[in-house]
């Protein structure tokens, strides 16, 4: 009788343990959504998995891309040193801007330094707003921005 109870307990414990182990390919919820994503990292919140580039600007030496996650309803800027020369001695930045309407008031912006060489990304801005990305143009120092998304 003790053996039967012990086997039953072991089988029950194994069944419970199996339900606690996540299966490969299991979909997890994002860690934030909409404006709750403001100033949070896209990777740490799981928002990068479904992200797509919606807009981009480049001056031939650096590129700024507007990345959008439908799951998180949030955007961020991904920046890349496209010439890879590592010759820039003045720090350059990419920006994401959150606006209340096309050409509407700026609600918030975040910047990220463009690595020399390489790529990086900013934290996110979220919600049902208009977004665009900008970068400083090499040589002239002028700011170039994408159209709104």
pLDDT in tens, 24-70: 333 457 899 999 999 999 999 999 999 999 999 998 888 999 999 99
What token pair was written down for 136? 């400083």
CATH of 34-145, one of 2.60.40, 3.30.300, 3.30.420, 3.40.50: 2.60.40
In whole angstroms, what is the distance from residue 46 CA to residue 60 CA? 31
Domains in the chain: boundaries: 34-145
Burial call 116-136: b when 16+ CB within 10 Å, e when fewer: beebebbbbbbbebbbbbbbb
Q: Which residues contact 85 (CB under 8 A, 6 or more apart)?
A: 117
Tell me: the pLDDT tens digits for 83-93?
776 666 777 89
Q: Which residues contact 3 (CB under 8 A, 6 or more apart)?
A: none
**Which of 20-24, 96-100, 112-116, 131-135 is predicted least confidently?**
20-24
pLDDT given at position 28: 53
Average pLDDT, the chain: 82
- Whether the model clears a pTM of 0.85, i.e. scores above it, the answer is no
pLDDT bin (cut points 50, 70, 90) of residue 141 is: confident
Least confident of 13-17, 61-65, 110-114: 13-17
């Amino acid at each position: 009788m003790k053996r039967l109870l012990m086997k039953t307990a072991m089988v029950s414990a194994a069944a419970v343990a199996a339900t606690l182990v996540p299966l490969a390919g299991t979909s997890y919820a994002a860690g934030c959504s909409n404006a709750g994503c403001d100033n949070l990292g896209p990777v740490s919140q799981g928002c990068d998995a479904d992200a797509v580039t919606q807009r981009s600007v480049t001056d031939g030496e650096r590129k700024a891309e507007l990345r959008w996650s439908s799951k998180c309803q949030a955007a961020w800027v991904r920046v890349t040193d496209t010439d890879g020369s590592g010759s820039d001695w003045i720090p350059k930045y990419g920006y994401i801007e959150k606006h209340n309407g096309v050409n509407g008031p700026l609600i918030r912006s975040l910047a990220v330094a463009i690595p020399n060489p390489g790529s990086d990304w900013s934290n996110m801005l979220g919600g049902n707003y208009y977004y665009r990305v900008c970068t400083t143009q090499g040589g002239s120092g002028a700011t170039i921005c994408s159209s709104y998304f």
